[in-house]
């Protein structure tokens, strides 16, 4: 007595393949994926191939298109040869698989028996493990970033965006006297238009006390000047 496995013949599948260098090709991966689909009488909705891209990169042309098409439910399942073809970063993998699950798209790594189908008991376990490891990876990245910042500050290096040096009173003059637009002011001073706008607003709210000619009674007057 044998058991016959019945597959959904209406399953639309997207094949994804990747190689890290341009002197390699994805034909072997694609051939095995096509055979996998054919044995189940599934349909190929599209083939997405990235050539010369590292698996550590979160953004790749064909991968980005695949995720966009998944959001529009152009297929029901994403099929890859191995998990590392889809991505090598646990953090990115966790986010991408979670997104596919949200879209209602199944994910299968054919040579590793990985399948996020809800009827598969290992699917939930896989997603929980990836999520936990991804959280650990995020913490490690954050700690390394903070350590690098502290080391740079200890060495006397300036951390963060460089401060823009420009005449703030010139912004006020060009706006009030010449009536230039923020874009024109920014172009003339070599700064973004929003930086010019922010500087103008800050100058309008700044009140500086300056020495003035004594008046009767020995009082001094306050005068508003542009910062």
Please report, for the chain, the start and end positions of each structural domain, with discontinuous segments joined by +: 12-135, 168-218
Catalytic residue among 20, 62, 131, 203: 20
Q: Where residue 76 falls among pLDDT bands split at 50, 70, 90?
A: very high
Active site residue 94: no
Higher pLDDT, 188 or 103: 103
Please report, rounded to a whole number, the percentage of residues in the chain having pLDDT higher than 70.
81
Q: What is the pLDDT of residue 68?
A: 95
Q: What are phi and psi of 7, to 5 degrees?
A: -105, 155
Q: What is the mean pLDDT of residues 110-125?
A: 79
pTM for this predicted structure: 0.58
pLDDT tens for each residue of 4-32: 444 567 899 999 999 988 878 899 999 99
Q: Which CATH superfamily is domain 12-135 in?
A: Resolvase, N-terminal catalytic domain (3.40.50.1390)
Per the prediction, the chain carries an average pLDDT of: 81
77 beta partners: 13, 106
């Amino acid at each position: 007595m044998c058991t016959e496995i019945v597959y959904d013949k209406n399953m639309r599948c997207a094949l994804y393949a990747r190689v890290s260098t341009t002197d390699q090709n994805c034909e072997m991966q694609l051939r095995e994926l096509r055979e996998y689909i054919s044995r189940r009488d599934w349909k190929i909705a599209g083939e997405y191939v990235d050539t010369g891209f590292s698996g550590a990169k979160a953004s790749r042309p064909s991968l980005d298109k695949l995720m966009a098409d998944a959001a529009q439910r152009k297929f029901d399942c994403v099929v890859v040869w191995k998990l590392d073809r889809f991505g090598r970063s646990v953090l990115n993998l966790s986010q991408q698989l979670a997104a596919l699950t949200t879209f209602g798209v199944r994910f299968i790594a054919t040579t590793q028996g990985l399948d996020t189908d809800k009827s598969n008991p290992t699917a939930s376990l896989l997603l929980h493990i990836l999520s936990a490891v991804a959280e650990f990876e995020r913490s490690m990245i954050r700690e390394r970033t903070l350590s690098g910042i502290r080391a740079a500050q200890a060495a006397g290096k300036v951390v963060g965006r460089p401060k823009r040096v420009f005449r703030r009173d010139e912004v006020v003059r060009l706006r009030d006297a010449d009536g230039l637009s923020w874009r024109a002011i920014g172009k003339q001073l070599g700064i973004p238009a929003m930086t010019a706008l922010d500087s103008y607003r800050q100058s309008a709210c700044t009140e500086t006390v300056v020495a003035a000619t004594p008046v009767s009674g020995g009082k001094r007057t306050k005068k508003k000047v542009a910062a």
